[in-house]
Structure 1
Amino acid sequence: MLQLKDVSFTIQKDGEDFPIIDKATLDIPRGHFMAIVGPSGCGKTTLLKTIAGLNEESDGELLWNGRNLAEEQDFDPAEIGYVPQFSIAYDQLTVDESIESATRLRVKTRNLAELDNRIDRILEETGLSAIADRPVKVLSGGQKRRLGLAMELVTGPHLLLCDEVTSGLDPRSERDIVRLLHELSRRDGRTVISVTHSLAHLELYDSILVLHEGKVAYHGPPNGMNHYFSVDDTEEVYPQLAKQRSSKWQESWLKHREAYYKKLEKKRATLIKEGELSIPDELVPSADEKKKLSSDTAPLDDPNESDKIIREATELVRMPGMLSQFSTLLGRRWKIFFRNRGQVLLQLAILICFPILVALFHERGNENIKRFSERYQGFAQEVQERTTVEKSYLTVGSAVSGIVMFQVVLLSLMGSNNAAREVAGERLIFEKEKFGGIRPSAYLASKIAFLGSLVLIQSLWMAIFVQQFWKFPDGVDTGFLDHTVFLVLVNAAMTAICLGISSLMKTAEQSSLLSIYLVGFQLPLSGAVLALPESIESITQPFISAYWAWSGSIESMNPSYRNAINAVTETSFEPATACQYVLIIHIVVGLLASYIGLKRHHWD
């Protein structure tokens, strides 16, 4: 049984407490199908989220099977299913793949046969078997709502919460969804609560909860609403509510509550007796349990004691481990990537075009630096040779510095493109999956593995392709390898930082905009083009990944090229090892920000 005892949810408005839900008291038994209705803004969705635990109640108690959800253990992810208003499936996957993914992420199965049986049963239960191979993006509104329900049924939840799942549907589809919810409530003692703006098909519900300005105005059988509100038609209920204050309706309901609850109990008993409502045997106290209850002087009809037996007797599905969730998330991410033709083409275009842009400047970078002769045949020749050498230093130094910075900035742009929308673009789906038991650590690990693959491919290809045209001026031993490491690190650093931004932002648009600004500041604040004033340079340089990759690469060159670059820039260079450490710190900071953002609550 689900019980609400004077539950309130309050927010701050104009410096004062404003109750969205005000002292709601309800009893909802197992196997019950309840609708929450009321005018817009009355608190329907807020109440549903408060029951789910997405909103923390400001006052009162929420009890589930005798367990205080605030003081004792909260809902187990397998106990509850929550179907939000938005789609919780990826357009690139099929119906079958979406349900399989949800099952692998939330249910630990012993083998493939058990997994397939569970998926097939859910497809049949929700009427999706005929369209199992159809992509999500081509489904109708009603089919998407069925899929959302199916993905929540993978754990066999005892409590199913649905938020406006019939909104925007045609009358036939709306009735089909309500009938499906009705059928689901009749199986295995499952409680189903549905928020709806519609007053159609109310006869299919066991009870109707009417909210008015956050207060309970009515909770009873559908056929009692018209009499209670003194109207001839259900559509007249909302205008009738507006005729008096919500506190008056609440007072009226508290006077009539017991009489209407007796009607609900009588109907429930009839349904069980006639076999229309299925309550599993393990949810019914055995003779020994009844004896124990009576010996403890607890009345058998005490719902709290009966619910304790239900809690102890009902076995929940087990959640898969972190590695299992990681492999499922990573496999799904690659599948979505390759099915998104636009994204694949964009990545290929960037991968091919960016290195070609760099290679266009290879000729000047390949020029040899002219050196001074040991002997001069006159003052005029010495002046001419010094002029030629200085010009060579300026030409080659400028070209080499520019080619390295061009590589660094373009890889920073690739990193931004990799991660700017990676979390924010699927924020709603992730929040829903996190509510269902997905570990943020498994989700982050899958993103690191996926993005890390892109980083390696992009950076290595940039280094190898450009090297075929412009030979990196090697240092004593492994200058090109060090340069390649810096290209990987700067791409990884920008990818990690933008992943952190994507995790902390609520929308993909916010994340993309901030990531673009971040890349835009890389070139002017690096000091590679124009040296910054020392007062500004000391503040900005620690945060500019491009500077550390550029500086480290320059330090990997032989001394003559470093001197040539020194001739065209006043920006100082740091030791290569220090540059590597700073870039690694950037990566770590980005990943920490990502984890913090993933752990944070981002429901609207």
Structure 2
Amino acid sequence: MLELKDVCFTIQKDGESVNLIDSASIQIPRGHFMAIVGPSGCGKTTLLKTIAGLNPESDGALFWEGRNLSEEGDFEPAEIGYVPQFSIAYDPLTVDESIEAATRLRVRTRDAEDLDHRIDRVLEETGLTAIADRHVKVLSGGQKRRLGLAMELVSDPKLLLCDEVTSGLDPRSEREIVRLLHDLSRRDGRIVLSVTHSLAHLELYDSILVLHEGRVAYHGPPDLVTHYFSVHDTEEVYPKLATQPSERWQGSWLKHQEAYYGKLERSRQRAIDAGTLHVPEKHEEEVSDEDQEEKPEQAASVKAPGFFTQLGTLLSRRWRIFFRDKGQVFLQLAIILCFPILVTLFSDKAEGPIASLSDAKQDNILEEIQERQMVRQEQVKVGSAVSGIIMFQVILLSLMGSNNSAREIAGERQIFEKEKFGGLRPSAYLASKLAFLACLVLAQSIWMGVFVNFFGVFRGEFPQHLLFLLLINGAMTAICLGISALMRTAEQASLLSIYLVGFQLPLSGAVLALPEHIEKFTRPFISAYWAWSGSVDALESKVLYAVKSVIDTSLTPQNVCLYTLLFHIGVGLIAAWIGARRHQWD
């Protein structure tokens, strides 16, 4: 049984406490199908999230099978399923692949046969067997709702919460979904709670919970709703609620609660006697050997998979999504191929010889002045070209890093939060992102360095230069991943990442030196400076002297640049870890 006793959820608004849920008290027996209805803004979704534990109750208590969830521990991930309003599946995947991934992330299966059995079972329960090979992006609204349900049923939850799963559907599809939820509530004593704005198909529910301004106005049989509110049709209930304040409706309900609960219990008992409702009386540890053979996956409590299982599932899914997104694949190939070509267009300017002053003393002072001017001109030409090409590479790799990860977490925030609610470890999720992005960083940086070096040999220690190219790409990827994890939307993360890359060139000092009193504050945060400075310091002495002759910005030794970029990577990863662990459901 699920029981709420005087549950409140309070927020602060304009310095005052506002109860979005106010003293809600209801009892929901096993094998029960309940609709939560009410006008817009009455607290339906808020109540559902409070039951799920996404909104911590401010007062009162919730009990599940006699256990106080506030004091004795919250729901286990396998005990509860939550189907939100948004789609929880990736468009490039098929129905079967989506359910398989959900199973691998939530359930520790014994073997491949056990995995296939679970997948086949939920496909059959939700009526998706015939379209198992169809991609999510081509599914209808009703089919996507069924898929969302299927992905929650893989762990066989005893409490299933559904938030507006019938919204936006045509009448036929809506009735099919409500009928499906009704059937799911009749299996193994499962409780199904469905938030809906629609007052259609109420006869399929066991009870109706009517909310008004966060308070319970009614909870009883669906056929008595019109009688209780003294209306002729259910469509008149919402206008009727507006005629009295919510306090009066709540007070009226408390007076009649016992009588209506009595009617609910008698109706429930008749259903059990008629065989239309089966509620198991035995606990899982008391299941007979015969039952274990029929339902092996329910014979023992469902356990969550390990870290490496979740990591492997996430990484496999990420690569599959990547290669099926033709636009993303084309963009990555275009970036990897075109950016190095842009750099090589200027490489010939950095290949010129650097003349030195003759050791012989010139007899003619005019000739000596001309020689010095010629040497100076060549130093300026080559030094500017070498410095510019290095910075060009650094900025392009910074842009690649931003493109790699700016939307990586923020773009799938809702799905991630839903999977985290279902038992996904944030550490496994973040590790899968790092493994995927590391492959992109290696491919982009090594190709950039090798390709440019092939057309114009780096005039110095190339391995050190390649190391700094890897570090700048890695630093910007990690920092933008941290931004992506901390931001609520992909648009916010992308915009901030673009600004970050845009400020790299002017604040690096590679083009124009900043005033010293500003430079000492900005330089520690500019990854491009440290990669540029470290690469310049790896140049051969003659070229390094030429570069120094044309820049006003001081250079930093390679080891300091190396440690600073590693520090930037560390800061980005810490930010990503904090953002991944933080609750950002909305």
**TM-score, length-scaled by structure 2:** 0.97
Deviations 1:351-374 (A, max 9, x none): 011000000001110111111111
User: 1:250 maps to what in 2?
Assistant: 250
Could you tell me how far apart the structure 2 residues matched to 1:71 and 1:560 are? Answer: 72
Could you tell me how far apart the structure 1 residues matched to 2:31 and 2:299 are? Answer: 14
User: 2:201 maps to what in 1?
Assistant: 201
Equivalent of residue 337 in structure 2, options 352, 375, 398 = 352
* Residue pairs, 1:415-426, within 5 angstroms: 415-426=401-412
Could you tell me how far apart the structure 2 residues matched to 1:68 and 1:333 are? Answer: 39
Moved over 6 A (4+): none
Could you tell me how far apart the structure 2 residues matched to 1:458 and 1:368 are? Answer: 30
Q: Give 1:70 deviation, angstroms.
A: 1.2
Q: Give 1:323 deviation, angstroms.
A: 0.6
Structure 1 alignment gaps of length 5 or more: 287-312
User: 2:268 maps to what in 1?
Assistant: 268
Could you tell me how far apart the structure 1 residues matched to 2:459 and 2:401 are? Answer: 26
Q: Contact 1:334–1:450 at 8 Å: present in 2 too?
A: yes
Q: Contact 2:225–2:234 at 8 Å: present in 1 too?
A: yes
* Counterparts in 2 of 1:221 and 1:283: CA distance versus 1, 3 Å: farther
Whichever residue aligns with residue 449 of structure 1, its letter is: A
User: 1:506 maps to what in 2?
Assistant: 488
Whichever residue aligns with residue 169 of structure 1, its letter is: L
Deviations 1:564-595 (A, max 9, x none): 11111111111101101100000010000001
Whichever residue aligns with residue 342 of structure 1, its letter is: G
Q: Is structure 2 residue 234 aligned with structure 1 residue 238?
A: no
User: 1:225 maps to what in 2?
Assistant: 225
User: 1:401 maps to what in 2?
Assistant: 387
Other structure's SS at 2:455 match: coil
Q: Contact 1:208–1:219 at 8 Å: present in 2 too?
A: yes
Q: Contact 2:284–2:301 at 8 Å: present in 1 too?
A: no
Equivalent of residue 561 in structure 1, options 543, 546, 557 = 543
Q: Is structure 2 residue 432 aligned with structure 1 residue 432?
A: no
Q: Give 1:283 deviation, angstroms.
A: 3.8
Could you tell me how far apart the structure 2 residues matched to 1:121 and 1:72 are? Answer: 32
* Residue pairs, 1:152-551, within 5 angstroms: 152-283=152-283, 315-375=300-360, 376-474=362-460, 479-551=461-533
Could you tell me how far apart the structure 1 residues matched to 2:101 and 2:10 are? Answer: 37
Q: Contact 2:37–2:199 at 8 Å: present in 1 too?
A: yes
Whichever residue aligns with residue 563 of structure 1, its letter is: Y
Whichever residue aligns with residue 235 of structure 2, its letter is: E
User: 2:52 maps to what in 1?
Assistant: 52
Other structure's SS at 1:11 match: strand
Q: Contact 2:207–2:219 at 8 Å: present in 1 too?
A: yes
Q: Give 1:284 deviation, angstroms.
A: 9.7
Deviations 1:480-499 (A, max 9, x none): 00000000000000000000
Q: Contact 2:122–2:154 at 8 Å: present in 1 too?
A: yes
Q: Is structure 2 residue 66 aligned with structure 1 residue 84?
A: no
Could you tell me how far apart the structure 1 residues matched to 2:141 and 2:224 are? Answer: 32
* Residue pairs, 1:69-108, within 5 angstroms: 69-108=69-108
* Residue pairs, 1:98-137, within 5 angstroms: 98-137=98-137
Q: Contact 2:472–2:528 at 8 Å: present in 1 too?
A: yes
Whichever residue aligns with residue 559 of structure 2, its letter is: T
User: 2:567 maps to what in 1?
Assistant: 585
Q: Is structure 2 residue 23 aligned with structure 1 residue 41?
A: no
Whichever residue aligns with residue 426 of structure 1, its letter is: E
Q: Contact 1:283–1:314 at 8 Å: present in 2 too?
A: no
* Counterparts in 2 of 1:81 and 1:251: CA distance versus 1, 3 Å: same
Other structure's SS at 1:30 match: coil
User: 1:301 maps to what in 2?
Assistant: none
Aligned CA-pair RMSD:
1.2
Q: Contact 2:284–2:299 at 8 Å: present in 1 too?
A: no
Q: Give 1:281 deviation, angstroms.
A: 4.5
Could you tell me how far apart the structure 2 residues matched to 1:116 and 1:366 are? Answer: 62
Deviations 1:99-145 (A, max 9, x none): 00000000001111110111011101100000000000000000000
Q: Contact 2:285–2:300 at 8 Å: present in 1 too?
A: no
Structure 2 alignment gaps of length 5 or more: 287-297
Q: Is structure 2 residue 577 aligned with structure 1 residue 602?
A: no
Could you tell me how far apart the structure 1 residues matched to 2:72 and 2:529 are? Answer: 52
Deviations 1:491-533 (A, max 9, x none): 0000000000000000000000000000000000000000000
Could you tell me how far apart the structure 2 residues matched to 1:314 and 1:231 are? Answer: 48
Other structure's SS at 2:396 match: helix
Whichever residue aligns with residue 578 of structure 1, its letter is: V
Deviations 1:208-255 (A, max 9, x none): 000011100000000111111111111111111111111111111001
User: 1:149 maps to what in 2?
Assistant: 149
Could you tell me how far apart the structure 2 residues matched to 1:582 and 1:275 are? Answer: 71
Deviations 1:175-215 (A, max 9, x none): 00000000000001100000000000000000000001110
Other structure's SS at 1:45 match: helix
Number of paired residues?
574
User: 1:19 maps to what in 2?
Assistant: 19
Could you tell me how far apart the structure 1 residues matched to 2:337 and 2:3 are? Answer: 61
User: 1:309 maps to what in 2?
Assistant: none
**TM-score, length-scaled by structure 1:** 0.94
Other structure's SS at 1:550 match: helix
Could you tell me how far apart the structure 1 residues matched to 2:393 and 2:260 are? Answer: 74
Other structure's SS at 1:573 match: coil
Deviations 1:450-488 (A, max 9, x none): 0000000000000000001111112xxxx1000000000
Q: Give 1:314 deviation, angstroms.
A: 8.4
Q: Give 1:275 deviation, angstroms.
A: 1.7
Deviations 1:394-437 (A, max 9, x none): 00000000000000000000000000000000011001001101
Q: Contact 1:79–1:316 at 8 Å: present in 2 too?
A: no
Could you tell me how far apart the structure 2 residues matched to 1:96 and 1:314 are? Answer: 24
Could you tell me how far apart the structure 2 residues matched to 1:76 and 1:440 are? Answer: 16
Q: Give 1:334 deviation, angstroms.
A: 0.3
Whichever residue aligns with residue 435 of structure 1, its letter is: F
User: 1:4 maps to what in 2?
Assistant: 4
Other structure's SS at 2:584 match: coil
Could you tell me how far apart the structure 2 residues matched to 1:149 and 1:458 are? Answer: 40
Q: Contact 1:350–1:414 at 8 Å: present in 2 too?
A: yes
